[in-house]
Amino acid sequence: MNSEPSVYHKRRHAARTTDEYLFHQLVPYLGNKRRLLHLILEALEITGTLNSKKKNPPIFADFFAGSGVVSRLARQNGYRVIANDWEPYSHALNHAILACVDAPAFKELGGYQKAIDYLNRLPEVKGWVTHNLCPRNDDVYDPTRDRLFFKRRNGMRIDAIRQQIATWQAQGAINDVEMSALLAPLLYSASFVSNTSGVFKSFHQGWGGRTQTALERIESLLWLTPSRFCEIGDRKRPAAEMWCVDSQHLANQMSGFEVDVAYLDPPYNQHAYSSNYHVLNALTLWDQVDLPSPDTKGYKSGIDRAWRKERPSPYNSSKHAKDAYEKLLSTINARYILTSYSTDGNIEPKDLLMANLERGKVTLLTQDVPRYRVSKQRQSERARVLEFIVITDTHAKSGPPLRQLLGQLYHFAELGGVDTSGNSTQLALW
């Protein structure tokens, strides 16, 4: 097992260039824990499950997997991983990367690299992406009547590649894991060349935004490179079990057996991931929904209204987040429950800590991090926010009381000059 601290270095671990499994082709993601992996490792050390000497590897259940970086960390350190996220794009990003010890075989296509090479050589096709997410003309466009998510050439490349993957699936030439191994590089590459700051709730009004600092990235040619896999585990069985369900449903399904570690990283604020990453969901599902024109009220970004209505998360609501978390926490059957949260979240730290104290002994780890902001050029009056991990030992009942835990939390915040008002904006993720 590799228990060395996994400290993220922006240059060395750039998702597009690094060969390291932990950081390779990580999509830009709100709430991404890549900068807090060392803190999560410290939490795992406290549980005593890291570097376990037991015959069977400890089970790590990630209920809100997102980009998959924490599940990758667990895989890299020898845990048997159960990874779940409600969003289809997350399942596509993580299925093969977490479940496979080696690259999938792709027997029908001559191997993984040959499949990737074939997709990269496809002629461009005008399809759903080109018609719905690209302007009619890259040089002469109207942001009120055109969507500017991709340059037309990249839109046509995405159309060609995604349609070929769908064709292979329909022909039975690829299985579900192999499909994920193709979709993951496509979703990452589409994110990389997108005319956004990392989320798809909106696009820049011109190519590269007001400062055009991202123009080189946006104008680069979409190109797939194979995913990396973690060579730790038993080659005779999947290294991870994948789910794509509501977190409460997963907790209900798993209530009959105790996992070693349950990791919770629920959404913090009102911004729904299904909206922020709707383009990735569209590419994953490939249902090619008929979208109204961009000048239709409520459809400028192309977010399907039916999707928004059918998939609200209680964690995006300050009214419902606390109740949803308490219900989930009370249902989970785990020796240790780790919760990542922020002083910016919809759930008050006091309420979150009280809920965990109901389950067992609580230990806190804290770190201040840069506040999310819309762009690197826009400064915030409150530049830092406090991230913390709640470690709950459900087999122990005696521990620090609520007052002491809150004192620890806010004392650290005051030392770091951290704002705890709960106001935040969005980070430029690239």
Residues 285 and 335 in one domain: no
What's the pLDDT tens digit per position in 239-297?
A: 899 999 999 999 999 999 999 999 999 999 988 999 999 999 999 999 999 999 999 98
**Residue 368, domain member (yes or no):** yes
Q: If pLDDT is split at 50, 70 and 90, which confidence band does 312 have?
A: confident
CATH assignment of the domain containing 54 = 3.40.50
**Residue 35, domain member (yes or no):** yes
Please state, for a pLDDT cut of 90, what percent of the chain lies above it: 72
Mention every residue, 6+ apart, whose C-beta is less than 8 A from residue 171: none
Distances (CA, A) of 127 to 102, 140, 157, 207: 33, 20, 9, 21
Residues 133 and 27 in one domain: no
Between 180 and 374, the higher pLDDT residue: 180
Residues 76 and 11 in one domain: yes
**Residue 236, domain member (yes or no):** no
What's the rounded Cα separation, in Å, for the pair 181 and 232?
A: 18
Residues 286 and 422 in one domain: no
**Residue 50, domain member (yes or no):** yes
Residues 254 and 388 in one domain: yes
Main-chain dihedrals φ then ψ at residue 356, nearest 5 degrees: -75, -35
Residues 257 and 275 in one domain: no
**Residue 231, domain member (yes or no):** no
- Tell me how many domains the chain contains: 2
Q: If pLDDT is split at 50, 70 and 90, which confidence band does 370 have?
A: low
**Residue 73, domain member (yes or no):** yes
Residues 256 and 398 in one domain: yes
Residues 258 and 283 in one domain: no
Residues 184 and 146 in one domain: yes
Q: If pLDDT is split at 50, 70 and 90, which confidence band does 421 have?
A: very low
What's the pLDDT tens digit per position in 248-258?
A: 999 999 999 99
Residues 361 and 392 in one domain: yes
Output the CA angle 21-337-417, nearest 5 degrees: 80
Rounded to the nearest integer, the mean pLDDT of the chain is 89
The pTM of the full predicted model, rounded to 2 decimals, is 0.91
Residues 256 and 380 in one domain: yes
**Residue 409, domain member (yes or no):** yes
Residues 271 and 367 in one domain: no
Query: Domain containing 282: what range?
Result: 104-226+267-311
**Residue 99, domain member (yes or no):** no
